[in-house]
Amino acid sequence: MSQDAAALHSDAGTSGFAQAGMRLAGHDVDTTHGPILYLDGISVSFDGFRALNDLSLTIDDGELRCIIGPNGAGKTTMMDVITGKTRPDSGTAFFGQTIDLTELTEPEIAHAGIGRKFEQHTVFENLELAMKADKRVRATLRARLTTAARDRIAETLALIHLAGEADRRAGLLSHGQKQWLEIGMLLMQEPRLLLLDEPVAGMTDEETVRTAELCLTLAGRHSIVVVEHDMDFIARIARKVTVLHEGSVLAEGPMDAVQADPRVIEVYLGR
Ligand code: ADP
Ligand code: MG
Nearest residue (CA) to ligand 1, atom 23: 46
Ligand lying closest to the C-alpha of residue 72: 1
- Ligand 1: nearest atom to the Cα of 77: 6
Which ranges in 68-204 belong to alpha helices (H)? 75-82, 106-112, 123-130, 141-144, 147-159, 175-188
Give the Å distance between the CA of 179 and the centre of ligand 2.
16
Distance between alpha carbon 133 and the CA centroid of its chain, in Å? 20
Asked if 102 and 88 count as a contact pair (C-beta separation under 8 A), the reply is yes
Q: 143: which strand partners?
A: none
Euclidean distance between CA atoms 271 and 82, whole angstroms: 29
- Residue having the nearest C-alpha atom to atom 16 of ligand 1: 72
Nearest-angstrom CA–CA distance, 45 and 54: 11
pLDDT in tens, the chain (271 residues): 344 443 333 333 333 333 333 333 445 788 887 899 999 999 999 999 999 999 999 999 999 999 999 999 999 999 999 999 999 999 999 999 999 999 999 889 988 999 755 444 566 766 666 665 455 555 555 567 788 888 999 999 999 999 999 999 888 888 889 889 889 988 988 899 999 988 898 899 999 999 999 999 999 889 999 999 999 999 999 999 999 999 999 999 999 999 999 999 999 987 6
Ligand 1 atom index nearest CA of 79? 6
Domain ranges of the chain: 3-269
For domain 3-269, the CATH architecture is: 3-Layer(aba) Sandwich (3.40)
Please state the atom number of ligand 1 nearest to the C-alpha of residue 247.
10
**Ligand 1: residues within 6 Å at CB?**
46, 51, 69, 71-77
Eight-state DSSP code of residue 236: H
- CA angle (202, 176, 62) in 5-degree steps: 100
